[in-house]
Amino acid sequence: MTRFWPFAAFAALVVFLYIGLGRDPHEIPSPLINKPAPTFTLPELYKPAQQFSSQDMKGQVWLLNVWASWCVSCREEHPVLMELSQKHIVPVYGLDYKDTNVQGEAWLREGGDPYTLVATDANGHVGIEFGVYGVPETYVIDKQGVIRYKQIGAITHENLQQKILPLVAELQAK
């Protein structure tokens, strides 16, 4: 029995370390989940004279996708967003984060524009309000304007099918 204890302690330590190593340290849970999304009014990318207000989105479920032309992983998720936009399941609004209009527009011309509308957050202020720390990030916002889910990093077919779309369907049914 006495010989057994050090071994048990070692095994427990190994289990903890294994779990710790398996975690992605870049995924920091957002405290904004299930809290009202910060409201913002920002100029539109194509028509900078016009303002988009997040208040207008009340009553529908929508995705807010934070992207930028300088963001590498955004290229990875772009085709997935293009596919999603063709299905017309849920409106995807883009937030062009810390970017210039010229570069943002060029980027969308090149790869296609999956967004219902794109607002520009040139100084990153709205990004801070949303707790953005790594682009791309995507927020699922419900009819009441509450953030229900945050995807940190690129949207993939996998997390879209497993997490985002089932949640969207559930929220739309409410």
Minimal distance in Å, beta carbon 147 to other proteins?
A: 12
Measured from the CB atom, the residue of 4 and 59 that comes closer to other proteins is 4
H helix or E strand, kind and range, residue 169: helix 165-173
Residue ranges binding other proteins (CB under 8 A): 25-26, 28-32, 98, 123-125, 127-131, 133-134
The CA distances from residue 88 to 28, 34, 36, 74, in Å, are 30, 25, 25, 20
The number of C-alpha atoms within 13 Å of 60 and in the hemisphere containing its C-beta is 12
Measured from the CB atom, the residue of 26 and 87 that comes closer to other proteins is 26
Minimal distance in Å, beta carbon 115 to other proteins?
A: 23
Show the CA angle centred on residue 138, arms to residues 133 and 142, nearest 5°: 125
Phi, psi (deg, nearest 5) at residue 115: -95, 145
Measured from the CB atom, the residue of 82 and 152 that comes closer to other proteins is 152
Minimal distance in Å, beta carbon 123 to other proteins?
A: 8
Q: Cβ(66)–Cβ(58) under 8 Å?
A: no
Minimal distance in Å, beta carbon 31 to other proteins?
A: 4
Helices (H), 4-162: 4-22, 72-87, 101-111, 125-129, 157-159
Measured from the CB atom, the residue of 11 and 128 that comes closer to other proteins is 128
Minimal distance in Å, beta carbon 116 to other proteins?
A: 26
Measured from the CB atom, the residue of 32 and 82 that comes closer to other proteins is 32
What is the SS3 assignment for 97?
A: strand
